[in-house]
Amino acid sequence: MTTTDATIETDLLPRLRRSTGPLHDDIEALLRLEAPMPLVRYGRILRGFHEFLQLWEPRARQALPERLRPWFDARVRSPFAARDLAALELPEDAADTAMRASALAALHGLRLDSPAAALGSLYVIEGSALGGQVLTPKLLAAHGLTPEHGAAYFHGFGARTGAMWREFRQLAQAEAGGAEDDRIAACHAAVETFRALIATFGALDAPATPAAPAAPPRS
């Protein structure tokens, strides 16, 4: 696409979709949510999202105008992941520890310095809520997990998820689709958010080894 073509196109969502398409494919291939899901691998995926979101959510919220923060607060999903991890009680291994460090490093490099950037980044997280719902019935069939016990994160907001996605699309276009600088900032933040998630999950399929014990306090 030429610069002229990009300038003419004022619809934000198609531009976000085109900008992030290859990275969307990359993270789908990395997570493989539609493949059989052993419980240990599922726990790692949950931990990766939790580590990422608990760092990302406060930053995204801060970048939004104050009038949009209650709207954002009603959509946060890290508490769902925390609830699932508590229910599953899976031991943490070295891959979990690596994902925690990767999430911290990846978020450090993600700039969320404007409402447009926050909304571009949110495009990635909101879209993952849609895609993740394919896993919910598989978790029930394979492991007996339900939204009330162990599958809250991918169930998310359940039947409301589609409507929430449509609401997000309308708000993103209204807030960040009117000026070319905002559209560019939103697309850049979406690309960088995908890259940050991919970096976070880089250790996902590492061999299962116990996490190293914490170093004793110095006397």
According to the model, what pLDDT value does residue 192 have?
97
The pLDDT, as a whole number, for residue 219 is 44
pLDDT at residue 134, as a whole number: 82
Domain that residue 108 falls in: 18-203
In a domain, 116, yes or no: yes
Q: State the CATH number of the domain containing residue 176.
A: 1.20.910.10
CA angle, 79 as apex, 143 and 13 as ends, to 5°? Answer: 95
Q: Is residue 82 part of a domain?
A: yes
Q: Return the pLDDT at 204.
A: 87
Please count the structural domains in the chain.
1
> Which burial class, exposed, middle or buried, applies to 82 when counting CB atoms under 10 A from its CB (0-12, 13-18, 19+)?
middle
Q: Give domain status of residue 124, yes or no.
A: yes
In a domain, 153, yes or no: yes
What's the pLDDT score for residue 5? Answer: 45
Q: Residue 10 domain-assigned?
A: no
Sequential pLDDT tens for the chain (219 residues):
444 444 446 799 999 999 999 999 999 999 998 888 999 999 999 999 999 999 999 999 999 999 999 999 999 999 999 999 999 999 888 888 899 999 999 999 899 999 999 999 999 999 988 877 888 899 999 999 999 999 999 999 999 999 999 999 999 999 999 999 999 999 999 999 999 999 999 888 877 665 545 445 454
Say if 88 falls within a structural domain. Answer: yes
Give the pLDDT of residue 218: 52
- Give the helix ranges, DSSP H, for the chain: 3-8, 12-31, 39-63, 69-73, 78-88, 94-108, 115-132, 136-143, 152-155, 161-176, 180-200
Residue 218 included in any domain: no
Q: Is residue 182 within 8 Å of 189, Cβ to Cβ? A: no
Residue 126 lies in a domain: yes
What is the pTM (predicted TM-score) of this model? 0.89
